Structure 1
Amino acid sequence: MDETSIGWWGVPLAIFAGAIRISTPFLFVSLGEMVTEKSGRINLGLEGTLIMGAMSAYGIAYLTGSPWLGVLVAGLVGTIFGMLHAGICSLPKVNDIAVGIALMLFGTGLAFYLGKPLVQPQAPNLPSFNFGWWSDLQQVQSALKINALFIIGVVLAPVFLWALRNTRWGLILRIVGDSSDAARAMGYSPLAVRLVATAFGGFMAGVGGSFLSLYYPGSWNEGLSSGQGITAVALVIFARWNPMNCLWASLLFGGASALGPALQSVGVTQGYYLFNAAPYVLTLLILILSSSSHRHIAGAPGELSVTR
């Protein structure tokens, strides 16, 4: 059966499938960055963390034959980068945005250097669940083949929302993010809380990177990431630091990214590159709509420098 056999019905189907696949790294990175920013710190180095996670996951999966071990190692590598970011930012008169950009460049360069031997080898991919078993159409089966990491991310979003509102750690995180002075008065160390939050954000970014190399596109090369890490920061602002909104925003961005290939699959080639630019236009619109010189952004942590 050829690719256009179901006609224009293939467009929403392809957008749905693309939204799920492409949104997965955005979902993990944005959830982790949401936790980091809730503590009052922004980490712009997530692009480097994402790529380091992708490289380390692919290398470990290739050497051990276990993709899940690769995911774990990617998370640990991300944790190290998060702790490095937090440690440097704890020094006097250090700007967290400048540190993030420096670590983004460092992580990207280090991953490309260490990952050169991994360009040719083939590592095992992460498993997926075939929710399209009921259909005889190959397109439907392919669209409903959902990776395990996406399901984990969907589960984590409401869990994070509940934890932020109903647990002691969530309360501490919000207090530190809203007022360092109030946190100190209550006996909490803002630097310690931000260290843990930034390390956790790095862990999530590393796991998000493992999806790129171990499932979609499922290989390691220097063009693997196209700004997912830095875009996720914009998604967090657009989501108003709400985990469930991070899920919807990631799916929206994933769907926009899938628009061009979906239209091309039914023969629409005019304006193909313009459609491929849709996610980046969407990012600009998100930043414009989220900006304001007259009011504080709803839901923004009081200590977050980019919202002041």
Structure 2
Amino acid sequence: MEATGIGVWGVPLAIFAGAIRVSTPFIFVSLGEAITERTGRINLGLEGTLVFGAMTAYAVAVMTLSPWLGVLAAMAVGACFGLTHGFICKFRKVNDIAIGIAMMQFGLGLAFFLGKPFIQPAAPKLPAIAFGAWSDLPPIQAVLNINVLFLIGAALALFLWWAFRNTRVGLILRVVGDSSDAARAMGLNPDTVRLLATAAGGALAAIGGAYLSLYYPGSWNEGISSGQGLMAVALVIFARWNPIGCFLAALLFGGAGALGPALQSVGVTKGYYLFYAAPYVLTLVIMIATSSPTRSLAGAPGALSITK
């Protein structure tokens, strides 16, 4: 985004615009992982789901010329990945973290193998809403040109925050996540609830992948994710399993990821590339800050393996 004509406001505007663009995959992956972890299961395979969802969405969009069909296809394969993960994890003595890592590698490898024919073809992009049409300044127009999926993610965060507290489904997720024995006493099957929650989490993570390939950066290649699926797990912990917290933390991560491009956009030619590491440094800082051998994580589901 060019900063011409707005002077010192160029950097904050570029960071704001970049935060919206970069945060959208984090929003969907973190919300999906929040649903999964609320039931007491962690899914480290979301990086593979994200990348395979990106490849699937791009391939379907190329073949059908419809980006929304690509998003739906990504959701379907993401749910299948989640169902596979959940089905394997229901067996006794199976470690969900180890299975998540295996699913991540499987998703990455399968995406790279099946996606090779789609590296060159161009797919139609997801639409954006031009909230800045009232302005004559291109930087303002660019900042307020907001993709539909970002708005859907914001609405979904609000809905999940409300649903976790005020609906029967939210109560079921919380009970299963806090105590399997209490869930069984209520007549619930914890394995089934976790299976469905993991499938829902996978579907949402795949939407994040679809955004990457069909809007920003808007192409399919094997390095499209840069570890965003794994960083989203840290984001959920930082947000204390609160959907609104996930949304705000995603914006924070997105802003950190936008620092380098923002500085470059206003003519900084030396050292700006160091800021490209900001999201990874932030992830490390968050993991250190939220780790303690003497205290439990506030708001953490009791059955979640990382809290034990």
TM-score between the two structures when normalised by the length of structure 1: 0.98
Q: How big is the alpha-carbon RMSD for the aligned residues of Structure 1 and Structure 2?
A: 1.1
8 Å Cα contact 1:234/1:287 also seen in 2: yes
Residues 243 and 2 of structure 1, relative CA distance in 2, 3 Å threshold: closer
1:77-126 deviation line (CA, Å, top 9, x unaligned): 00000000001111121100000001101100100100000011000000
1:207-246 maps to which residues of 2 (within 5 A)? 207-246=207-246
Offset, 1:48: 0.3
Instruction: Quote the Cα distance in structure 1 between the aligned partners of 2:21 and 2:183.
Output: 39
Partner of 1:157: 157
8 Å Cα contact 1:4/1:265 also seen in 2: no
Offset, 1:3: 4.5
Offset, 1:8: 2.3
8 Å Cα contact 2:164/2:170 also seen in 1: yes
8 Å Cα contact 2:44/2:230 also seen in 1: yes
1:7-26 maps to which residues of 2 (within 5 A)? 7-26=7-26
- Secondary structure (helix, strand or coil) at the match of 1:115 reads helix
Partner of 1:203: 203
Q: Once the two structures are aligned, what percentage of the paired residues are identical?
A: 69
8 Å Cα contact 2:23/2:254 also seen in 1: yes
What letter corresponds to residue 243 of structure 2 in structure 1? P
Which ranges of 4 or more aligned residues in structure 1 deviate by more than 3 Å? 1-5
TM-score between the two structures when normalised by the length of structure 2: 0.98
* Structure 1: runs of 5 or more not aligned: none
- Secondary structure (helix, strand or coil) at the match of 1:267 reads coil
- Secondary structure (helix, strand or coil) at the match of 1:129 reads strand
1:38-64 deviation line (CA, Å, top 9, x unaligned): 000000000000001000000111111
Offset, 1:185: 1.1
Instruction: Quote the Cα distance in structure 2 between the aligned partners of 1:6 and 1:265.
Output: 12
Partner of 2:114: 114
Partner of 1:306: 306
What letter corresponds to residue 261 of structure 1 in structure 2? P
- Secondary structure (helix, strand or coil) at the match of 1:244 reads helix
Alignment partner of 1:71 is 2:71: yes
1:57-206 maps to which residues of 2 (within 5 A)? 57-206=57-206
Instruction: Quote the Cα distance in structure 1 between the aligned partners of 2:191 and 2:138.
Output: 52
What letter corresponds to residue 284 of structure 1 in structure 2? L
Offset, 1:269: 2.6
What letter corresponds to residue 129 of structure 2 in structure 1? F
